[in-house]
Structure formats: C-alpha cells, structure tokens
Amino acid sequence: MMRQEMVNWTTQRRIAKVSEMENEQIYPAELEKKRAQMVEIALKRGFTHPDTIRLSREVDGIVQSFQAVTAMPEPAW
C-alpha cells in the first residue's frame, strides 16, 4: 500500500473514532428510551400486541444502526 493511502486510511479512522464516540452517547440514550416504551406497552397490552412488535422492530433498527456505524472494517494491507 502506498504511503498516501495509509495516511488517508488513518485520517478516516480518526474521523470514524470521533463519530463512534458521539454515537456511543446518542444511540444508547435513544435505545434506552425506545426500549422502555416497548416494555411499558408490552406489560399493558401484551407481548404479541402490534404496538409491542412495532417498537421491538424499532429497537432492533436502532441496535443495527449503532452496530453499522461503530463497525469499520480494518484495511486488508
């Protein structure tokens, strides 16, 4: 790998790390709020109620988004 490519990758990795740090604060708060809503609805309406299922899918989406943002592949050099 050429030096410039390595410098570019290092810069991108640093930017990604800053984004990770920001997301580590944002996503968990959003996730906890949505999870609490889901549990409350599940206890009131039942675990198979459409609103519970919808909130569960939203929680899954938040988790998947967080994982996608924080997982940056290492270079194959």
Q: What is the pLDDT of residues 17-56, one digit of tens each?
A: 555 655 566 678 888 899 999 999 999 999 999 999 999 9
Q: Is the pLDDT of residue 9 over 70?
A: no
Residue-range definition of the domain harbouring residue 34: 25-71
Query: Angle, nearest 10°, between helix axes 3-45 and 50-70?
Result: 160
Do 58 and 23 meet the contact criterion of CB atoms below 8 Å apart? no
Q: What is the pLDDT of residue 12?
A: 64
Q: How far apart are CA 13 and CA 71, in angstroms?
A: 11
Q: Is the pLDDT of residue 67 over 90?
A: no
Domains: count for the chain: 1
pTM recorded for the entire structure: 0.60
The answer to whether position 54 is within a domain reads yes
Residue 65's identity, in one-letter code, is S
Q: What is the pLDDT of residue 7?
A: 46
| Domain assignment of residue 7, yes or no | no
Residue 1 has pLDDT above 80, yes or no: no
The alpha helices in the chain, defined as continuous H runs, are 3-45, 50-70
